[in-house]
Structure 1
C-alpha cells in the first residue's frame, strides 16, 4: 500500500471509504494476517486525507476486529479467518464467471471467493496482460490501449480464448474455478453464454454467472484508486465513457448480482452469501 492514491471522493464519509477499501484488501488477501500497516502519517499521505480521518478509519477496523494495536508494532492486520477458514467440499466441479465494468470490484470479489474456497482464480488481466501489452507494442500502439480496432477486434478475442482455455484445463483436472473478466460482450451474447454452459456440462461442471454492479460514482472512485495506466482514457473522458455503457447490463441467463456500490452491504458478506447459494445448489444435485 505504498503507492500514492488519488484523493478520496465523498460518495460516502471519507473515513468509511478508506476503511472499506482496506477491509477489501484484507479480505482479498492483499493485506495478510499479522502484517503491519503503515503509520497514520503514511496512510494519510497515501489516501490524501487528514491523519484524523485515518484514525477514524482505523477505529472502524479495530471495532470490526480486522486490525489490532500492538506495542512497538503499531497497527497490525488481524485476519486469521482469511487463511484458516475450512474449505468447502463440492460433489460437482463449480465454475463461477464474474463479470462487471472497469472498477466494479469483480477481481476483489473473485479473490474473496478464492480465499473462502481454495478454488482456482483465473483473472483475465493476470493471465494475459503482459502478452497483450507486447502485442500492442508490436502493432505500434500504446501497451495501455484498450479502445483501438486492433485491440478490440484482434487481440481481445484471443484474451478470452486463452482465459476460457485455462478454465477448461483446470476443470478437466477436477479443479473448481473462479473466472474474472469484464465479460461485457460475452454476457451480452446469448449464444456465447449457451456455448459456455454446454462446455461446462460436457466437462461435468456447473457454471454460475455473477454480475458485479457498481454505481457510476463509486466506480469512478475504484478506477481512480487502482491507478492503472490502461484506465487513463476512461478517466480523461469519464462522462463520455459512462454515457456509452449500459449500467443495467446483466447476463441473459439466471445469475446473481453483487452490488458493490458505496451504499451496499460489505463485499465480503455478499461474497459469502453467494458462496452459500452455490454450495446449497451443489447439495441439491
Structure 2
C-alpha cells in the first residue's frame, strides 16, 4: 500500500498534493472534468497550481491509484470515470425563445411536465437580482427598456442563464431554457457558441421559436399583470411596430404557433417530443 505524503511537509512548498487531488477528484465526480478528457500536462498543471512538478506527480499518483486518472506516455493523463459518463443518448437541451407574451414559458412548463426535465426560465431565475441591481443603479426595478438595463444588466442575465444551462449539461441533465433570446438568436456567432457548448458536453440541442399574433400577445401580457410590462402596455402600438414578426433565428429551429385559434400548446409539445424521439 502506498504511503500518503504528509500534508504538513507539502504545505511548506506550496499547495498540498492531497488538496490538488481532492479538488480534481471533485471536478471529475461532479462532471466538470468529463470521462475521457485529457488533462493538461504536468508542467502546465504545476504552473496553474503554483506548485512543483513533483507535487503534481504525487497528486496524479493518488488519483491513478483510485482509478480516476489513467497515466499515459510523456505525462499525458486522461480522466477515467465511466460511471459518471452521461447516458448514450446524452442530455437534451431545449431552448425556447419568443417575444414577451408569446407563450414560451407556458410551452416550457408543458414540456417539463411531459418529460420530467429541469426548466430554467429567465425571469424566475434572475428577476430578484435584476430588480435589486436596477434599484442600486437608480432605476426602476421594473425597467426593461433603458440603456442601463440593456447594456449593464441584460448581458449578465443571459450569461447567468447560459452558465446554469452549461452546469446542467456537465451533470448530464436534460434541461429546458426559456427567455426571449431575440438578440441572441439573431447573432450567428452566439448561436455557434451555444451549439458548440452543447456538442462538447455530448448533448443534443433543439431550438424552438414561439410565434404569436399581436392581439393574442397583448391579451397574455395584460392578463399576467407583471409590472415589467407596464411600458409595453402603455406604448403598445409603438412597441409592436418594433417587433420582427417574421423573425428567423440564425440556427436550425422549429416554430410553434401560439396565436388564438392555433393547435393547443400541449398537442404541439407532444408532437415536438415525438419528432425528437423522446419517450
Query: Which bracket does the TM-score occupy, shorter chain normalised?
Result: 0.5 to 0.7
| 1:268–1:90 CA distance, 2 compared to 1 (3 A) | farther
The residue aligned with 2:191 is 193
In the TM superposition, residue 244 of structure 1 has moved relative to its aligned partner by 0.7
3-state SS of paired residue (2:276): helix
User: Which of 198, 207, 221 matches 1:209?
Assistant: 207
The residue aligned with 1:162 is 160
Matched, 1:140 2:138: yes
The residue aligned with 1:171 is 169
The residue aligned with 2:121 is 123
| TM-score normalised by the chain length of structure 1 | 0.66
In the TM superposition, residue 92 of structure 1 has moved relative to its aligned partner by 2.1
Question: How far apart are the structure 1 equivalents of 2:239 and 2:248?
Answer: 18
Gaps of 5+ in 2: 1-86
The residue aligned with 1:269 is 267
| Deviation sequence 1:132-177 (CA, Å, 0-9, x none) | 0000000110000001111001100000000000011111111001
User: Which of 136, 141, 149 matches 1:151?
Assistant: 149
The residue aligned with 1:111 is 109
Count of residue pairs the alignment pairs up = 193
Question: How far apart are the structure 2 equivalents of 1:165 and 1:253?
Answer: 20
RMSD, matched Cα: 1.4
Gaps of 5+ in 1: 1-88
Taking the TM superposition and a 5 Å limit, the aligned residue runs for 1:80-91 are: 91=89
In the TM superposition, residue 90 of structure 1 has moved relative to its aligned partner by 7.7
The question of whether the paired residues in 2 share the 8 Å contact of 1:90 and 1:279 is answered with no
User: Which of 240, 243, 248 matches 2:241?
Assistant: 243
Question: How far apart are the structure 2 equivalents of 1:144 and 1:123?
Answer: 17
3-state SS of paired residue (1:279): coil
Question: How far apart are the structure 2 equivalents of 1:247 and 1:145?
Answer: 23
Question: How far apart are the structure 2 equivalents of 1:90 and 1:210?
Answer: 24
| Deviation sequence 1:9-50 (CA, Å, 0-9, x none) | xxxxxxxxxxxxxxxxxxxxxxxxxxxxxxxxxxxxxxxxxx
Question: How far apart are the structure 2 equivalents of 1:98 and 1:250?
Answer: 13
